[in-house]
Amino acid sequence: MATILAVIAAVAAVVGLVYAYVSPQEVPRRTQWKALLTGELRPVLALAAGATVALFLLSLPSGKPFSPGLTLGWGVLIGGLVGLYAWFEASGSFAGEAASARTVGMLAAAALGPAAALLIFRGYPNEALMGCAGGAVLVAAIGWAIVRPREDGIGAREARSEERGVRSENGDRVAAEAAPTGTGRGLEVFALATAAVCAGCVLAILHFPRAHPGHVWGGYW
């Protein structure tokens, strides 16, 4: 039963990501990819990816104090990869009707990581789930720490321009090249949702008896 629920969650997450990706927005997706991968935030994106891979590699040793068969690092890798895509999704426009599509994208990404961990590591997914939450929060925190102050500065400049009744072209360019307002909040939503879903799954697995057929999680192992 739990496997079926995980499959349903994964399918729903993929559908949500597809919906968010194909939904119309002000900036074309191709331009958004190019801005994220070649813009001035590229070093930060590389830092987040590098930190995820580094934590994954640190979890691979099997000698003391490590133990063979641990899945924490694989969970970190899953959470980090989903987090990197969530960063791309959060960098889209949150203006008007696009806000709902971005929100769906954030929540779908938050569901995809835990669902993948549950399906891949069915024997005992707790460590993978905890790693997934850690990887997702790590990537989101790195992006949030850099993007959010920039967004606050852009918002303050736009407010001052509107008060004067002037909107400078340079201000528009800076806002477009840096990060659309809402990226930081989108990463917050993704990180909190992923952590909540992973924590809920771990608590459910620990709470219900492993071999009890009457419980949802009873047949998971």
Place of tokens 């971005």: 102
Residue 16, pLDDT score: 92
Nearest to 84 by CA among 166, 156, 124, 140: 140
3-state SS track over 134-177: HHHHHHHHHHHHHHHHHHHHHHHHHHHHHHHCCCCHHHHHHHHH
Helices 72-90/42-58 angle, 10° precision: 170
- Per DSSP, 122 falls in state -
Measured CA to CA, the distance from residue 91 to residue 88 in angstroms comes to 5
Sequence-distant (≥ 6) Cβ neighbours of residue 44 within 8 angstroms: 142, 143, 146, 147
Sequence-distant (≥ 6) Cβ neighbours of residue 218 within 8 angstroms: 1, 208, 209, 210, 211, 212
pTM for the structure as a whole: 0.76
Question: Running along the chain, 221 residues long, what does each successive block of 10 average in pLDDT?
Answer: 83 92 76 73 85 88 64 92 88 73 90 93 87 93 81 49 46 43 81 94 79 50 47
Measured CA to CA, the distance from residue 46 to residue 192 in angstroms comes to 22
How many helices (H) and strands (E) the chain has is answered by 8, 0
Nearest to 108 by CA among 18, 188, 7, 34: 18
Residue 64, pLDDT score: 63
Measured CA to CA, the distance from residue 83 to residue 74 in angstroms comes to 14
